């Protein structure tokens, strides 16, 4: 660069021509200074042998009005510097070399003015972003209940929990610059950010946290003077000094150990030292208490703090004047820790020599043992009954005993004289064994009361045995069976005699007149039923197997047809005819002639195959031809199933000609034979 200097008003003006890479030529002089120039003339620049450009005042400070210096040359001693002297060398003003300003600066700053553009961001434990509202400054308010860490970015970014922490309920003003997004994250839970765009300082904006606005800020203090704040107990070099104000109230001081506690009490008052842990075993010196005996011959008291305990150790008790008392007064309830008298319990009491000290002796239950001395001690028993314990007399002595009233003597050994008139052994009953001879035995006789009639006793009472006047002991055998032996027994009044008893008669002939006191014991089977008239007796009609027959009656009450009497059978279990007769097919068939003649049908069984069947019963000797039929009973059975009526004492039907069971695929009045069934029947 070519630099041309021109003198103007006694000063060298330097100018630069563009950015041309050119080299200026200077005239080297032995020393700068001494030149004179005319205003408006161009001159060649000068420099000294060291290469420093000479200014208008000569080499480095000789001029009287050097207003412009050259970078890197010695700063002039009497000139107005355009730059700053760094180490005695003139340097240009820059961001790294600012011009120092001394004095007061007054400026008027405008407060935050919102432009009406807002945004909201929900912050959680995962980073979230939202575009910033327009404006040079954005007011950010944490409207939630958890701390939010925020960070600005160009475009959507992310926030970390190490970024700036905006406490709950606080606001901050952020200069936007080139940023376009705000990013937020919480340590825990969630919170809500409200953003308002605008310009100006955040003044008058409530709750500003470490911001340029007003309000109360809640700041987490982590450093003081660039050093981290140590929390908790630490060394003095890492702690902040605290000066207690002169009007500060009493401050409690607690020291874990007394090794480093050095306190001096200045002024009046009481300095209390409290040991919060147990005092170690042995002798512990916690200080000395001096007594100011202001008046000779008097005793001054030493008072301890309320609620504290002071131990006193005295080498000898000669000068120790102390009163020991409990917390409970005489006659008061047992409370607190009153001073009580006690002593040891020894299963074997001690034996000490004369003049020695011995503990008072107590029983295992806490009763004091008292023994009389040479003088003894009287015992007075008050009125009434009193127990004074077990009394033992010494050997060889006699103790008189006076007893009033009845005597109660037990466990007496030795010989005891009987009183006058007492029963001797000769008058006492003897023990007699069973079966022994009664000669020479004595005993008590059991007596009973003699009454003409039986006495009446009350349950639960003790009474005499009862004797008759003949000396017989009355007994009651109503609850047992007694044998009776008699030639004859009289009948009670009104008893039936032989003349009035029903006699067993011989069988009554059929159709005979009623016999007096007739008693037919059984019935009779007649192939042809008997014909009787009104008022006649007859045998009961039975079936061929002993079954009784019941004749159906007509509307007048007469037997409609004796030949149709229905037998009522009770099959005897021991008879060969204990069950009805049975007949069945041996191959798949369409009919079964169960029996011919007059018989009763008691049961049947039909099993069908691939076709559903009608079961028809006919009073006949053979099965009718296919076509129209008139059965006496009809049943149905489904495909591949069976129909069964087990036999009972009551018949299903009585047929006079015969019993025929037919199966048909049609019905009930049209027969189409189907030889596909199993058929059986039970009859009598």
pLDDT of residue 545: 63
Which residues are CB-contacts of 280 (< 8 A; sequence separation ≥ 6)?
Answer: none
Number of Cβ within 10 Å of residue 595's Cβ equals: 19
Task: Give buried/exposed letters for 446-467 (b at 16+ CB in 10 A, else e).
Answer: eeeeeeeeeeeeeeeeeeeebe
**In contact, 76 and 59? CB cutoff 8 Å:** no
Q: In 3-state terms, what secondary structure has residue 100?
A: coil
pLDDT above 60 (res 559): yes
Span 299-352, pLDDT tens digits? 555 555 555 666 666 666 666 666 666 666 666 777 766 667 788 899 888 888
Given pLDDT bands bounded at 50, 70 and 90, which one contains residue 224?
low
Q: Please state the φ and ψ torsions of residue 42, each to the nearest 5 degrees.
A: -95, 135
Indicate the DSSP class of residue 439.
T
DSSP secondary structure letters along 263-311: ----SSS-------SPPPSS------------STT------PPTT----
Distances (CA, A) of 59 to 9, 25, 82, 311: 19, 18, 17, 91
Tell me the C-alpha distance between 196 and 55, whole Å.
Answer: 57
How remote is the C-alpha of 376 from its chain's centroid?
A: 70
Highest mean pLDDT, choosing among 181-185, 382-386, 536-540: 181-185
Tell me the C-alpha distance between 90 and 68, whole Å.
Answer: 10
**In contact, 109 and 95? CB cutoff 8 Å:** no
pLDDT of residue 156: 94
The secondary structure element, H or E, covering residue 49 is none
pLDDT of residue 179: 95
Distances (CA, A) of 531 to 278, 524, 534, 544: 132, 14, 10, 18
Span 372-389, pLDDT tens digits? 777 766 666 666 666 666
Number of Cβ within 10 Å of residue 5's Cβ equals: 23
Residue that is written with structure tokens 């009153």 in the block: 338
pLDDT above 90 (res 61): no
Report which of 186, 105, 201 is spatially closest to residue 144, judged by C-alpha positions: 186
Span 68-119, pLDDT tens digits? 555 666 665 555 555 666 666 666 777 777 777 777 777 777 788 899 999 9
What is the side-by-side order of every strand in the sheet holding 613-619? 591-596, 658-664, 613-619, 633-637
Compare 555 and 188 and report the one with higher pLDDT.
Answer: 188
Span 190-219, pLDDT tens digits? 999 999 999 888 764 444 444 443 344 455
Report which of 196, 100, 178, 92 is spatially closest to residue 140, judged by C-alpha positions: 196
Residue that is written with structure tokens 């405008």 in the block: 110
What is the token pair recorded at 618? Answer: 């006919």
Given pLDDT bands bounded at 50, 70 and 90, which one contains residue 433?
low
Q: Which range, of 353-367, 479-493, 516-530, 558-572, averages the lowest pLDDT?
A: 558-572
What is the side-by-side order of every strand in the sheet holding 523-525? 523-525, 540-542, 548-550, 566-568
Q: Decide the pairing of beta strands 448-450 and 465-467.
A: parallel
pLDDT of residue 206: 44
pLDDT of residue 22: 43
Span 599-638, pLDDT tens digits? 999 999 999 998 999 999 999 999 999 999 999 999 999 9
pLDDT of residue 415: 77
pLDDT above 70 (res 476): yes
565 CB-side CA count, 13 A: 24
pTM to 2 decimal places: 0.24
Compare 74 and 594 and report the one with higher pLDDT.
Answer: 594
Compare 358 and 127 and report the one with higher pLDDT.
Answer: 127
Highest mean pLDDT, choosing among 327-331, 398-402, 596-600: 596-600
Tell me the C-alpha distance between 482 and 472, whole Å.
Answer: 18
pLDDT above 90 (res 369): no
Residues linked to residue 53 through DSSP beta bridges, in sequence order? 47
Compare 276 and 358 and report the one with higher pLDDT.
Answer: 358
Task: Give buried/exposed letters for 624-655 (b at 16+ CB in 10 A, else e).
Answer: beeeebebbeebebeeeeebebebeeebbebb
The secondary structure element, H or E, covering residue 165 is strand 164-166
Beta strands, E only, 431-555: 448-450, 465-467, 523-525, 540-542, 548-550
Q: Which long-range contacts (CB under 8 A, 24 or more apart) does 523-529 make?
A: 523/548, 529/562, 529/563, 529/565
Which residues are CB-contacts of 651 (< 8 A; sequence separation ≥ 6)?
Answer: 566, 600, 601, 602, 684
Torsion of CA 175, 180, 181, 182, to 10 degrees: 0
Span 5-51, pLDDT tens digits? 444 333 344 433 333 334 456 677 776 766 666 666 666 677 777 66
Tell me the C-alpha distance between 263 and 280, whole Å.
Answer: 22
Q: Please state the φ and ψ torsions of residue 4, each to the nearest 5 degrees.
A: -115, 125
Indicate the DSSP class of residue 559.
B
Q: Decide the pairing of beta strands 191-199 and 137-142.
A: antiparallel
pLDDT of residue 507: 58
Compare 408 and 508 and report the one with higher pLDDT.
Answer: 408
How remote is the C-alpha of 408 from its chain's centroid?
A: 66
Mean pLDDT of the chain: 74
Q: Decide the pairing of beta strands 45-47 and 84-86.
A: unpaired
pLDDT above 70 (res 659): yes
Tell me the C-alpha distance between 242 and 234, whole Å.
Answer: 14
pLDDT of residue 112: 86
3 state SS for 583-611: EECCCCECEEEEEECCEEEEEEEEECCCC
Which residues are CB-contacts of 456 (< 8 A; sequence separation ≥ 6)?
Answer: none
**In contact, 454 and 474? CB cutoff 8 Å:** yes
631 CB-side CA count, 13 A: 24
Output Rg (C-alpha) for the chain, integer angstroms. 73
Given pLDDT bands bounded at 50, 70 and 90, which one contains residue 668?
very high
How remote is the C-alpha of 248 from its chain's centroid?
A: 53
Number of Cβ within 10 Å of residue 683's Cβ equals: 23
Distances (CA, A) of 321 to 110, 309, 327, 341: 84, 18, 19, 21
Distances (CA, A) of 431 to 7, 426, 443, 445: 174, 13, 8, 13
């Amino acid at each position: 660069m070519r630099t041309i200097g021109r003198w103007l008003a006694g000063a060298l003006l330097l100018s630069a021509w563009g950015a041309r890479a050119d080299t200026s030529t200077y005239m080297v002089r032995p020393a700068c200074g001494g030149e004179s120039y005319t205003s408006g003339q161009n001159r060649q620049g000068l420099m000294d042998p060291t290469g420093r450009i000479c200014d208008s005042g000569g080499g480095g400070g000789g001029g009287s009005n050097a207003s412009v210096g050259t970078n890197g040359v010695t700063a002039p001693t009497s000139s107005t510097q355009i730059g700053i002297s760094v180490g005695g060398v003139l340097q240009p003003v820059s961001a790294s070399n600012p011009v120092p300003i001394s004095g007061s600066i007054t400026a008027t700053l405008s407060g935050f003015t919102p432009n009406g553009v807002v945004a909201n961001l929900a912050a959680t434990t995962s980073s979230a972003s939202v575009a910033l509202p327009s404006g040079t400054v954005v007011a950010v308010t944490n409207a939630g209940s958890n701390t939010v860490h925020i960070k600005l970015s160009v475009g959507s970014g992310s926030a970390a929990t190490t970024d700036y922490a905006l406490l709950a309920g606080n606001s901050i003003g952020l200069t936007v610059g080139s940023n376009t997004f705000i990013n937020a994250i919480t340590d825990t839970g969630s919170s809500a950010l409200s953003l308002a765009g605008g310009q100006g300082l955040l003044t008058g904006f409530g709750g500003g946290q470490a911001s340029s606005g007003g309000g109360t800020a809640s700041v987490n203090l982590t450093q003081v003077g660039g050093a981290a704040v140590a929390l908790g107990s630490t060394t003095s070099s890492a702690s902040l000094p605290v000066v207690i104000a002169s009007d500060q109230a009493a401050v409690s001081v607690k020291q874990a150990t007394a090794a480093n506690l050095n306190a001096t009490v200045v002024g009046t008052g009481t300095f209390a030292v409290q040991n919060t842990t147990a005092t170690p075993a042995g002798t512990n010196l916690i200080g000395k208490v001096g007594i100011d005996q202001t008046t000779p011959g008097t005793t001054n008291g030493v008072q301890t703090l309320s609620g504290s305990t002071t131990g006193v150790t005295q080498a000898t008790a000669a000068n120790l004047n102390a009163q020991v008392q409990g917390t409970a007064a005489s006659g008061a309830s047992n409370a607190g820790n009153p001073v009580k008298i006690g002593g040891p319990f020894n299963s074997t009491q001690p034996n000490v020599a004369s003049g020695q000290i011995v503990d008072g002796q107590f029983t295992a239950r806490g009763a004091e043992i008292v023994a009389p001395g040479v003088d003894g001690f009287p015992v007075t028993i008050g009125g009434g009954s009193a127990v004074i314990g077990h009394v033992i007399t010494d050997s060889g002595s006699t103790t008189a005993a006076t007893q009033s009233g009845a005597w109660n003597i037990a466990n007496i050994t030795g010989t005891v004289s009987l009183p006058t008139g007492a029963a001797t052994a000769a008058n006492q009953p003897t023990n007699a064994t069973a079966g022994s001879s009664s000669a020479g035995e004595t005993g008590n006789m059991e007596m009973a009361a003699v009454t003409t009639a039986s006495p009446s006793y009350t349950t639960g009472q003790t009474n005499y045995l009862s004797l008759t006047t003949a000396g017989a002991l009355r007994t009651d055998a109503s609850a047992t069976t007694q044998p009776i032996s008699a030639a004859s027994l009289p009948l009670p009044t009104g008893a039936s005699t032989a003349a009035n008893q029903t006699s067993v008669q011989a069988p009554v002939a059929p159709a005979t007149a009623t016999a007096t006191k007739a008693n037919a014991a059984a019935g009779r089977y007649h192939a042809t039923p008997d014909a009787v008239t009104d008022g006649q007796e007859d045998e009961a009609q039975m079936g061929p197997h002993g079954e009784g027959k019941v004749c159906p009656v007509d509307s007048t009450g007469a037997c409609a047809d004796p030949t149709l009497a229905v037998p009522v059978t009770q099959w005897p279990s021991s008879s060969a005819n204990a069950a009805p007769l049975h007949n069945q097919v041996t191959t798949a068939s369409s009919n079964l002639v169960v029996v011919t003649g007059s018989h009763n049908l008691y049961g049947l069984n039909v099993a069908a195959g691939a076709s559903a069947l009608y079961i028809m019963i006919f009073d006949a000797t053979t099965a009718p031809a296919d076509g129209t039929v008139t059965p006496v009973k009809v049943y149905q059975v489904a495909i591949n199933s069976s129909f069964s009526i087990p036999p009972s004492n009551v018949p299903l039907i009585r047929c006079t000609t015969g019993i025929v069971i037919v199966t048909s695929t049609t019905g009930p009045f049209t027969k189409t034979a189907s030889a596909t069934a199993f058929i059986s029947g039970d009859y009598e």
